[in-house]
């Protein structure tokens, strides 16, 4: 039986509700359940999950609903009871902290507030951000689905007031050593970063930390800042701040290749700033960067190595090898591929971090020609229905892309969908390698390696039972000082049989070595 309960004009935030949906689905006798606000998105979900009843038509976006298909009325009552229990549990837990409803209320409690982290639904995000800017509060906007017009207006206002307007879709920053949202514990140093990409920042900063250097400031702009429409407003603003920051000696810029005119302006500004600057336009042409006397990087890892060299007063050289050395890597790759069955030839990349997924594809596309993806490098390689449908030949999936985050938290917070997919891919007899990331640090799941290692173990056993050998290549983006700990995470993955490489670029190169062996 399908049943619906509606509560008019009750608002709960979607993350809470998604967690609750997940919990109630575990109750005995519940076939499917969805707890949410009646947004368009959730309405579609109710239809697609087959939970729709006639009464559902009256639900509006301001209504809270519980829809479930269960064995009996009693089970549905149990669902409602559980939902209420989980909803009130939260309020009891937070009773000691008073959560004011508005920024004004927050400023009464803490008048020195200077940074806002905003992750409310996109359609409300610009309003919240503008209110913060009006109060002179710098903004880090993690929400997506903010329009270009809204983004432009916010950034123009922020620039006029000399404020940061990082985002939309900016998930990573570190100001004065404080990690904001998705960020790692990085030692303090003299390398200042501005990045249009969240996991890009995390990858570069964690490698810098691993190499023994540190970060002065790490600022974000959001992925669209360097498009022509926005014109790099925030990249320029941040760059200017780093140029004038005494603690910053080296500057590192990270972005997908910008619009040409925007690139020219940024590079000119960086060149005139006079500080040694490493530029990583992931997959972009290094010549333009060199023309301005700046240092191009071939990968995120390379950017970190070059910044570290500059910080130490050394001449930066390209790093495109392995920490273990190329020979060892080749030997190791051969050991892996020798164990594989005939017919195993494809790689499946399953990522929670969008930028490092993109980087992996860009590093490999020259060898492979086609990589099918929900974030394809060229339009003809788009994998339709990536969430529900099968992968195709060499496939890389970004689980943080819209299709996968409908009705769910970001995969760095809830990596369960990706974990399920690891097992699914192992069933395909043509799959030789599964490549995964594991992003730790603040903001991320409390222990992403635990979930992931379970599914790696399952996947490898499954392949083995069918006479195949599955190689799982992993990279951990994080540091030992992170709450989850890089070493602890690494141990979990290795115990499950994964090969853990020190960077995304090295993991990708290792996969390339194996594919070369398999395909000749």
Q: Work out whether 142 is an interface residue with another protein (CB under 8 A).
A: yes
Choosing from 53, 72, 74, 100, the residue that interacts with another protein (CB under 8 A) is: 100
**Torsions phi, psi of 508, nearest 5?**
-65, -45
- List the x/- string, 26-45, binding to another protein by CB under 8 A: --------------------
Choosing from 137, 193, 449, 477, the residue that interacts with another protein (CB under 8 A) is: 137
Polymer length in residues for the chain: 520
SS (H, E, C) 449-482: HHHHHHHHHHHHHHHHHCCCCCEEEEEEECCCCC
Choosing from 15, 87, 264, 365, the residue that interacts with another protein (CB under 8 A) is: 15
Which residues lie below 8 Å from residue 29, measured CB to CB, with a gap of 6+?
70, 71, 72, 75, 78
Choosing from 28, 96, 101, 389, the residue that interacts with another protein (CB under 8 A) is: 101
Q: Which stretch binds another protein (CB under 8 A): 24-32, 234-242, 252-260, 512-520?
A: 234-242
Nearest by Cα to 127 from 159, 88, 157: 157
Distance between terminal CA atoms of the chain?
56
C-alpha 262, offset from chain centre = 25
Q: Work out whether 132 is an interface residue with another protein (CB under 8 A).
A: yes
Q: Among residue numbers 421 through 460, which ones bind another protein (CB under 8 A)?
A: 442-443
Choosing from 41, 80, 86, 113, the residue that interacts with another protein (CB under 8 A) is: 113
Sign of CA dihedral 440, 319, 491, 517: positive
Choosing from 180, 282, 433, 505, the residue that interacts with another protein (CB under 8 A) is: 180
Helix and strand numbers (H, E) in the chain are 18, 19
Give me the least distance between CB of 160 and another protein, in Å please. Answer: 11
d(CA 267, CA 124): 34
Q: Which stretch binds another protein (CB under 8 A): 130-138, 148-156, 299-307, 470-478?
A: 130-138
Give me the least distance between CB of 164 and another protein, in Å please. Answer: 6
d(CA 337, CA 84): 52
Closer residue to another protein, CB minimum distance, 141 or 436: 141
Tell me the number of residues near another protein by CB under 8 A.
Answer: 64
Which residues lie below 8 Å from residue 228, measured CB to CB, with a gap of 6+?
259, 261, 262
CB 9 within 8 A of CB 62: yes
Closer residue to another protein, CB minimum distance, 128 or 361: 128
Q: Work out whether 303 is an interface residue with another protein (CB under 8 A).
A: no
Give me the least distance between CB of 426 and another protein, in Å please. Answer: 31
Residue with tokens 């892309």: 401
Q: Work out whether 6 is an interface residue with another protein (CB under 8 A).
A: no
The DSSP result for 219-256, as a single string, is: EE--TTTTSTTTTTHHHHHHHHHHHT-TT--EEEEEES
Q: Which stretch binds another protein (CB under 8 A): 175-183, 283-291, 317-325, 422-430?
A: 175-183
The DSSP result for 105-118, as a single string, is: HHHHH-TT--EEEE
Q: Which helix (H) or strand (E) holds 334?
A: helix 326-338
Choosing from 40, 92, 110, 327, the residue that interacts with another protein (CB under 8 A) is: 110
Q: Work out whether 179 is an interface residue with another protein (CB under 8 A).
A: yes
Please list the residues that pair with 252 across neighbouring strands. Answer: 193, 278
Q: Work out whether 9 is an interface residue with another protein (CB under 8 A).
A: yes
Q: Work out whether 178 is an interface residue with another protein (CB under 8 A).
A: yes
Choosing from 48, 53, 62, 335, the residue that interacts with another protein (CB under 8 A) is: 62
CB 364 within 8 A of CB 512: yes
Choosing from 175, 207, 218, 472, the residue that interacts with another protein (CB under 8 A) is: 175
d(CA 508, CA 498): 14
Closer residue to another protein, CB minimum distance, 176 or 378: 176
Q: Which helix (H) or strand (E) holds 501?
A: strand 499-501
Nearest by Cα to 514 from 331, 349, 377: 331
- List the x/- string, 385-414, binding to another protein by CB under 8 A: ------------------------x---x-
Binding site for another protein (CB under 8 A): 9, 11, 13, 15-16, 61-62, 94, 97, 99-106, 109-110, 112-121, 123-124, 127-128, 130-132, 134, 137-138, 142-143, 161-164, 175-176, 178-181, 217, 237-238, 240-241, 244-245, 247, 409, 413, 442-443, 483
């Amino acid at each position: 039986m399908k049943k619906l309960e509606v509560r008019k004009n009750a608002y709960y935030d979607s993350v809470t509700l998604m967690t609750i949906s997940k919990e109630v689905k575990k109750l005995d006798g519940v076939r499917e359940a969805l707890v949410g606000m009646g947004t368009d998105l959730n309405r579609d979900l109710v239809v697609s999950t087959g939970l729709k009843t006639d009464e559902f038509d009256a639900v509006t976006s301001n209504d809270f609903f519980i829809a479930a298909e269960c064995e009996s009325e009693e089970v549905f009552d149990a669902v409602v009871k559980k939902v209420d229990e989980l909803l009130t549990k939260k309020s009891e837990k937070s009773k000691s902290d008073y959560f004011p409803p508005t920024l004004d209320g927050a400023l009464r409690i803490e008048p020195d507030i200077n940074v806002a982290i905003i992750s409310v639904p996109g359609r409300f995000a610009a309003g919240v951000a503008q209110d913060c800017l009006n109060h002179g509060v710098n903004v880090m906007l993690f929400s997506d689905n903010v329009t270009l017009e809204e983004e432009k207006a916010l950034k123009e206002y922020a620039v006029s007031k000399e404020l940061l307007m990082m985002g939309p879709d900016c998930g990573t920053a570190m100001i004065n050593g404080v990690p904001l949202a998705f960020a790692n514990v990085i030692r303090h140093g003299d390398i200042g970063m501005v990045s249009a990409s969240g996991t890009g920042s995390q990858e570069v900063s964690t490698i810098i930390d691993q190499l023994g250097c540190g970060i002065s400031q790490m600022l974000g702009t959001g992925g669209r800042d360097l498009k022509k429409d926005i014109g790099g407003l925030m990249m320029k603003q941040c760059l200017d701040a780093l140029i004038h920051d005494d603690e910053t000696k080296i500057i590192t810029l990270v972005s997908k290749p910008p619009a040409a005119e925007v690139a020219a302006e940024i590079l000119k500004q960086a060149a005139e700033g006079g500080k040694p600057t490493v530029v990583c336009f992931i997959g972009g042409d290094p010549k333009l960067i060199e023309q301005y006397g700046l240092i191009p990087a071939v990968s995120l890892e390379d950017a970190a190595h070059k910044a570290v060299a500059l910080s130490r007063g050394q001449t930066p050289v390209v790093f495109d090898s392995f920490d273990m050395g190329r020979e060892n890597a080749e030997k190791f790759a051969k050991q892996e591929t020798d164990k594989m069955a005939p017919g195993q030839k494809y790689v499946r990349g399953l990522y929670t971090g969008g930028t490092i997924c993109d980087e992996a594809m860009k590093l490999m596309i020259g060898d492979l020609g086609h990589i099918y993806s929900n974030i394809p490098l060229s339009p003809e390689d788009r994998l339709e229905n990536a969430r529900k449908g099968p992968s195709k030949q060499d496939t890389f999936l970004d689980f943080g892309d819209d299709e996968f985050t409908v009705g769910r938290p970001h995969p760095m917070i809830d990596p369960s969908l990706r974990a399920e997919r690891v097992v699914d891919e192992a069933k395909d007899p043509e799959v030789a390698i599964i490549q995964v990331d594991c992003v730790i640090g603040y903001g991320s799941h409390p222990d992403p390696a635990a979930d992931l290692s379970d599914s790696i173990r399952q996947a490898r056993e499954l392949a083995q039972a069918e006479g195949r050998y599955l190689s799982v290549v992993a990279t951990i983006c994080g540091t030992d000082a992170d709450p989850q700990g890089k070493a602890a995470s690494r141990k979990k993955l290795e115990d499950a049989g994964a090969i853990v490489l020190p960077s995304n670029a090295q993991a990708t190169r290792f996969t390339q070595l194996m594919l070369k062996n398999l395909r000749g």
